C-alpha cells in the first residue's frame, strides 16, 4: 500500500487486482483474502488454504465467499488472539458489522445465491458442471469479479479506519 498514492487511484488498482485475482483463481473467498493479505501484509498461508471450500459455503448458495474472505482479513486486523479474550471479541464486531451492512447495501444480500440471481437474473447450482458452464457463459465470472472487488474495497476501508465505536450493539 503506497500512502502517497491518491485514494481513488489506490482503490482502482486494488479493485482491478481483486477482479484479476478472482478471474485467475475462480474462488471468491481466496481471491478477496489474498488481495487484502498482500495489501496489508497479513499472515495467512494456512488461512488461504482453509478458504478453499468456502465460496458460497461449498457452492451451496450460502454466504458469499468474498464476504467470508474479507471478514477473515478484518478479523486478522481486529481479532483476538485467545478464545477467552472477551474484550478482543467485542472490539472486532463493529468493523465486521459495518462491512456486512455496506456489502449488503451494495449487493442486496450476503448470500451467494441471491447475489448471483440479482446480477445474472437467475440462480445457478455452481456445484453442477452444466450449470457452472451456463454461469460462466452468462458472464458470471465477470459479475462475481466485480462483487469480489467491491468486498475488497469495503474491507480495505474497514482495515484502514481503525476507529471503533465502543458498543457493537450500536452497529
Pick from 121, 109, 90: which is nearest to 147 by CA?
109
Query: CB 70: neighbour CB atoms within 10 A?
Result: 32
Residue 1 belongs to some domain of the structure: no
Q: Give the mean pLDDT of the chain.
A: 91
Q: Is 55 helix (H, G, I), strand (E, B) or coil?
A: coil
Average pLDDT of span 110-119: 97
What pLDDT does 6 receive? Answer: 77
Give the per-residue pLDDT at 2.
58
In the numeric block, the cell 457493537 is attached to 168
Within a domain: 136: yes
Inside any domain, residue 2: no
One-character DSSP codes across 68-125:
HHHHHHHHHHH--SSTT-HHHHHHHHHHHHHHHHHHHHHHS-SBHHHHHHHHHSS---
Average the pLDDT over 137-158 and give the result. Answer: 97
Give the domain extent around 146. 7-170
Return the percentage of the chain with pLDDT > 90, whole number: 82
Complete DSSP assignment for 4-22 = TS-HHHHHHHHHHHHHHHH
Residue 18 above 70 pLDDT? yes
Query: How high is the pLDDT of residue 166?
Result: 44
Residue 156 lies in a domain: yes
Counted domains in the chain:
1
90 belongs to a structural domain = yes
| Average pLDDT score over residue span 85-102 | 93
Residue 69 lies in a domain: yes
Is 16 a residue whose pLDDT tops 60? Answer: yes
pLDDT > 50? residue 135: yes
Q: What's the whole-model pTM score?
A: 0.89
- Locus of grid cell 465460496: 55
Amino acid at each position: 500500500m503506497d500512502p502517497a498514492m491518491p485514494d481513488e487511484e489506490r482503490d482502482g488498482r486494488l479493485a482491478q487486482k481483486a477482479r484479476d485475482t478472482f478471474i485467475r483463481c475462480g474462488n471468491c473467498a481466496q481471491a478477496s483474502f489474498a488481495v487484502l493479505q498482500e495489501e496489508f501484509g497479513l499472515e495467512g498461508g494456512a488461512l488461504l488454504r482453509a478458504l478453499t471450500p468456502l465460496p458460497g459455503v461449498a457452492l451451496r448458495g450460502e454466504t458469499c465467499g468474498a464476504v467470508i474472505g474479507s471478514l477473515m482479513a478484518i478479523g486478522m486486523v481486529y481479532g483476538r488472539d485467545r478464545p477467552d479474550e472477551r474484550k478482543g471479541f467485542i472490539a472486532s464486531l463493529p468493523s465486521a458489522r459495518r462491512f456486512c451492512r455496506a456489502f449488503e447495501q451494495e449487493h442486496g444480500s450476503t448470500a451467494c445465491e441471491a447475489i448471483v440471481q440479482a446480477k445474472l437474473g437467475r440462480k445457478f447450482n455452481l456445484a453442477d458442471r452444466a450449470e457452472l458452464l451456463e454461469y460462466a457463459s452468462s458472464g458470471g465470472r465477470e459479475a462475481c469479479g466485480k462483487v469480489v472487488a467491491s468486498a475488497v474495497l469495503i474491507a480495505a476501508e474497514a482495515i484502514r479506519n481503525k476507529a471503533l465505536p465502543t458498543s457493537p450493539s450500536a452497529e
